[in-house]
Amino acid sequence: MEKILRIDHGAAFPGSDAERVLTGMEGLLRKSSDVLTAGALEGRDGFGWFDLPDTSPEGIYEEVSWLLGFDSVVQIGIGGSALGNIMLSRALCHPYYNELTRNERKGPRFYVADNADPEGTSAILDMIDPSGTAFIVASKSGATAETMANFLLFLDRHRRSGTGDPRDNFMVVTDPREGALRAFARETGCRSMTIPSSVGGRFSVLSPVGLLSAAAQGVDIDSLLLGASAMKERLARSDTIQENPACVMAAAAIWNFDQGRNMLAMMPYADRLESFSEWFCQLWGESLGKNSWGSTPVRALGAVDQHSQVQLYSQGPDDKLFLLLTPTSRKDLTMPEAGETSLKSLGYLSGKGLGSMLDLEAMSTAAALIKAGRPVLWSEVPVIDAYILGSLVFFFEYATALTGIAKGLNPFDQPGVEQGKRYTYGLMQRPGFDGDAAEAQEHFSLARRNTAAI
Amino acid sequence: MEKILRIDHGAAFPGSDAERVLTGMEGLLRKSSDVLTAGALEGRDGFGWFDLPDTSPEGIYEEVSWLLGFDSVVQIGIGGSALGNIMLSRALCHPYYNELTRNERKGPRFYVADNADPEGTSAILDMIDPSGTAFIVASKSGATAETMANFLLFLDRHRRSGTGDPRDNFMVVTDPREGALRAFARETGCRSMTIPSSVGGRFSVLSPVGLLSAAAQGVDIDSLLLGASAMKERLARSDTIQENPACVMAAAAIWNFDQGRNMLAMMPYADRLESFSEWFCQLWGESLGKNSWGSTPVRALGAVDQHSQVQLYSQGPDDKLFLLLTPTSRKDLTMPEAGETSLKSLGYLSGKGLGSMLDLEAMSTAAALIKAGRPVLWSEVPVIDAYILGSLVFFFEYATALTGIAKGLNPFDQPGVEQGKRYTYGLMQRPGFDGDAAEAQEHFSLARRNTAAI
């Protein structure tokens, strides 16, 4: 059976022996894996993502055929209700998807309204005809301020165009339990799909949150789910922690953090995975950043960041674990020979593949980092397609959850975001948050005590 | 005179007094400012960016009128020859610029070929007609592997279409001294512009490297340069380090690094500045990451990253300095009232501005971080336009260089990227690098000693 993910970790524990570190952590990792598997089996809160790879996407296909009738699809959501959508689109669709003609594209144009920046929302309004647009409003709680704000704006524009009936253009994706979005669907009769209650936002990309918009752009969501399912099965069948790449990643993250390396640089060598890093950063940061623990995920892209961050990576402080990720096969372009005498010095490029060069650059960066004594996880996938991407999604969800459990953290909550939310509600004069407004002002005024203006 | 940048730093030195920290560092910062000014006056190597704001863009306008005759412009460059271009486009053009019709756009469609990923290059080839495209090939050395590789590919495609004469479609931007690109321009007679020798790649955005493609998209480069010039003048006129925001930023960066905070999170609250952070990350990381020093720049975007990274920022380790950046005025959108009973709970939004909410979210995040004892630099600009963006470019270049000089580093070199380059040349069998190939293989093989595959 062909391997779908390989992680070489001989250089992930500088000054120590990989085998010995893993053996030392074996008990902890085995116990943590058991907790993870048991939590999933028992259907405990937060563990619902475990079941997503094996959930039939049939209901989704019905809605997708509805989506395909529109000129544009706008995903209204933020964080876990947007990053996965962007990631799937960027990884599996044409990089200039929206610029293609309708015949070249496999579906409607696609926009994401995530931020509460009026410039972003206005720009989308410039591009769409509200009556020819499907709006997917995704919020687990049905109350996320930025999402609801954008929802109100698009709903209003829609009302002033065409039929104005939300049933024609709106679909909500939210928790099955009561919330404003669920109530809205009941009141108006608009379409709705469900984020299972036990699936948190950042673990929801393989639910309708991520699958609907991806399928509408022609992404093969069956393969995506099959890949995730294959990864789930293989992880369950890994007998030793040494041959389980999720255990290896968790061990490397924990060991290196303990050695004072408080960052994890995720550096794929593939344009298609640029937004994958961003999706991973939420998963890792929000799941593990608690109790004063948590390595900070740092996004990088090879080879671009060799010309931006590698100076710092190799000669700055020894404070990062590097995860390089490359596909072992690419559709390549062969570099031609130049006729000009002035370009003779480029002879070393001619006849070689651009992608082969990128592969060698990844290897060179790894070698240079290893030479500098920096810890490197070298990971390979056979190719970047829907199946492998699905397997990577499940892999990183699993590895993240495993790391959290091993550190005694709850990887499925995010108590630290509540404070800022309450302050915003207070400052927005939402009833019941008066005290929060005063407290926000008080802390903020500390910053104002000293000012340099120019 | 209206202020163009304000940095509140009363919460940037937790557990200490801002005034006292600054006074303690006054001698160092004053001396470093003097070194910077003197280096610029004497025209020392690396200091050339100091003169760019006051360099007339006239020669650029001539070339821009040529660029405007094309359907598309492709910038071929990487790192400092691409990040600034993307930044200017994203900050000052319509977010969906390429999707607009030619009448709505102010210039040709714009693509950046930076990475050596064949998928990215193929995608651009899908979108352009080589004979209707202007190619700007930017490389200071005229030898950057990724840039030259893409150059060869586009040159070949061009040769096989239309006239095939490089003079019709190619322009090189490179060092005035000899290099392959300079020689190519001489041999073929194609257009060329100059990156002054004393301007490093990451400091080159206000040279033809960044200005050509920006002006071709309708960016007001006069205002950009005027803003940069105004910032330069104001920084020179700041009498005390307490009223100089660049000194404040350098002091906060150095002091917090010494306290064990090895990251600087750059978090603008404006979609338009998303790529600005990426540009800044190269500037900061590559200038300061040396001699085992250097805080790692972390990109974040408000309010999006409240739903991704703020959990980690507020409850993870206390290992970051935060720089929040907001415009004090925005073109706003007013949130309407919803008719539906189910949306009554959103009453707190109705009638308020989406941008006002974003401002309050920034303030709330700052307040929550300050409450958690995390260091915050709160910065404000009056608006985001070409003038202010130019001022920010110069400001961050100055603050970065100042920080490096204060730490005794050379902010203008990047010796740490050479190792990986030599390894790649070796592995690509470029003559003269045989030993490097063997050494790369040797270090890389360390990673391969242990493998987990699934």
CATH of the domain at B258: 3.40.50.10490
Buried b (16+ CB within 10 A) or exposed e, B401-437: bbbbbbbebebbbbebbebbbbbbbbbbebeebeebb
Under the banding of pLDDT at 50, 70 and 90, the label for residue A238 is confident
Structural domain boundaries enclosing A315: 6-39+240-406
pLDDT for the residue numbered B162: 79
pLDDT for the residue numbered A1: 83
- pTM: predicted TM-score of the whole model, two decimal places: 0.98
Q: Is the dihedral angle over the CA atoms B286, B288, B293, B294 positive or is it negative?
A: negative
Question: How far apart, in Å, are the Cα atoms of B254 and each of A260, A396, B250?
Answer: 19, 35, 6
Nearest Cα to Cα of residue A329 among B438, B119, B125, B445: B119
pLDDT for the residue numbered B343: 97
pLDDT for the residue numbered B288: 98
A176 and A306 together in one domain: no
High-pLDDT (> 70) share of chain A, %: 100
B290 and B359 together in one domain: yes
Contact, B285 vs A312, CB < 8 A?
A: yes
Under the banding of pLDDT at 50, 70 and 90, the label for residue A322 is very high
Under the banding of pLDDT at 50, 70 and 90, the label for residue B341 is very high
Q: What share of chain B is helix, strand, coil (3-state, %, to 5)?
A: 55, 15, 35
Residues 374-433 of B with CB under 8 A from A: 376, 378, 414-417, 419-421, 423-425, 427-431
Indicate the pairing of strand A109-113 with strand B109-113: unpaired
Nearest Cα to Cα of residue B399 among B255, B291, B253, B229: B253
Question: How far apart, in Å, are the Cα atoms of A358 and each of A328, A437, B119, B179, B389?
Answer: 11, 52, 11, 23, 33
pLDDT for the residue numbered A236: 94
Task: Using CA coordinates, name the residue in chain B closest to A437.
Answer: B364
pLDDT for the residue numbered B81: 98
**pLDDT(B219) > 90:** yes
Cα–Cα distance for residue pair A82/A75, rounded to 1 Å: 7
Contact, B134 vs B67, CB < 8 A?
A: yes
**pLDDT(B238) > 90:** no
Residue A113, SS3 per DSSP: strand
Secondary structure (DSSP) of B190-256:
-EEEE--TT--GGG-TTSHHHHHHHHHTT--HHHHHHHHHHHHHHHHH--SGGG-HHHHHHHHHHHH
Contact, A87 vs A299, CB < 8 A?
A: no
pLDDT for the residue numbered B13: 98
**pLDDT(A106) > 90:** no
Residues 60-89 of B with CB under 8 A from A: 78-80, 82-83
Under the banding of pLDDT at 50, 70 and 90, the label for residue A228 is very high
**pLDDT(B381) > 90:** yes
- If you average pLDDT over every residue of chain A, what do you get? 97
Q: What is the pLDDT of residues B272-319, one digit of tens each?
A: 999 999 999 999 999 999 999 999 999 999 999 999 999 999 999 999
Is B359 touching A (CB cutoff 8 A)? no
Terminal-residue alpha carbon distance, chain A: 64
B377: which 2 tokens?
A: 């630099």
Q: How far is A42 from chain B (nearest CA, A)?
A: 26
pLDDT for the residue numbered A451: 97
Residues of chain A neighbouring B118 (CB-CB closer than 8 A): 330-333, 353-355, 358
B281: which 2 tokens?
A: 């990350």
Q: Which of B406, B422, B448 represents a domain boundary (last residue)? A: B406
Q: Which of B198, B219, B240 represents a domain boundary (last residue)? A: B219
Query: B424 in a domain, yes or no?
Result: no
A102: which 2 tokens?
A: 């309708």
Q: How far is B373 from chain A (nearest CA, A)?
A: 10
Cα–Cα distance for residue pair A117/A153, rounded to 1 Å: 12
Residue B122 has φ and ψ, to the nearest 5°, of: -60, -40
Cα–Cα distance for residue pair B296/B122, rounded to 1 Å: 33
Is B256 touching A (CB cutoff 8 A)? no
B272 and B193 together in one domain: no
Residues of chain B neighbouring A421 (CB-CB closer than 8 A): 364
Alpha-helical regions (H) of B42-165: 58-67, 83-92, 118-127, 145-159
Q: What is the pLDDT of residues A376-389, one digit of tens each?
A: 999 999 999 999 99
Q: What is the pLDDT of residues A109-159, one digit of tens each?
A: 999 999 999 999 999 999 999 999 999 999 999 999 999 999 999 999 999
pLDDT for the residue numbered A330: 96
Contact, B227 vs B390, CB < 8 A?
A: yes
A259 and A139 together in one domain: no
Query: B191 in a domain, yes or no?
Result: yes
Query: A347 in a domain, yes or no?
Result: yes
Task: Using CA coordinates, name the residue in chain A closest to B298.
Answer: A298
Query: A389 in a domain, yes or no?
Result: yes
**pLDDT(A178) > 90:** no
B303 and B243 together in one domain: yes
Mean pLDDT of the region A92-96: 98
A95 and A198 together in one domain: yes
A251 and A309 together in one domain: yes
Nearest Cα to Cα of residue A245 among A236, A253, A254, A235: A235
B259 and B375 together in one domain: yes
CA B147-B151-B153 angle, 5° bins: 120
Query: A232 in a domain, yes or no?
Result: no
Q: How far is A374 from chain B (nearest CA, A)?
A: 11
Mean pLDDT of the region B24-45: 96
Query: B277 in a domain, yes or no?
Result: yes
pLDDT for the residue numbered A162: 79
Cα–Cα distance for residue pair A436/A448, rounded to 1 Å: 19
Domain count, chain A: 3
A33 and A148 together in one domain: no
Mean pLDDT of the region B161-183: 93
Task: Report the residue from B235, B330, B454 with minimal CB separation from A238.
Answer: B454
ipTM here:
0.98
Under the banding of pLDDT at 50, 70 and 90, the label for residue B392 is very high
Residues in Cβ contact with B167 at an 8 Å cutoff, skipping those fewer than 6 apart: B188, B189, B190, B191
Which residues of B are catalytic, by number? 286, 307, 421
A85 and A214 together in one domain: yes
Residues of chain B neighbouring A285 (CB-CB closer than 8 A): 308-309, 311-312, 316
Yes or no, beta carbons of B365 and A282 under 8 Å apart = no
Tokens 């049933």 correspond to what residue? A167
Task: Using CA coordinates, name the residue in chain B closest to A201.
Answer: B307
B288 and B402 together in one domain: yes
Q: What is the pLDDT of residues B51-103, one digit of tens each?
A: 999 999 889 999 999 999 999 999 999 999 999 999 999 999 999 999 999 99
A103 and A57 together in one domain: yes
Is A435 touching B (CB cutoff 8 A)? no
- If you average pLDDT over every residue of chain B, what do you get? 97
**pLDDT(A239) > 90:** no
pLDDT for the residue numbered B37: 95
Mean pLDDT of the region A79-86: 98
The residue from A42, A307, A340, A418 that is catalytic is: A307
Yes or no, beta carbons of A416 and B353 under 8 Å apart = no
Is B358 touching A (CB cutoff 8 A)? yes
Provide the 10 A C-beta neighbour count for residue B2: 5
Cα–Cα distance for residue pair A355/A378, rounded to 1 Å: 18
Task: Using CA coordinates, name the residue in chain A closest to B188.
Answer: A340
B324: which 2 tokens?
A: 């929040």
Q: How far is B326 from chain A (nearest CA, A)?
A: 11
Query: B439 in a domain, yes or no?
Result: no
Query: B373 in a domain, yes or no?
Result: yes
Q: Which of B167, B190, B219 represents a domain boundary (last residue)? A: B219
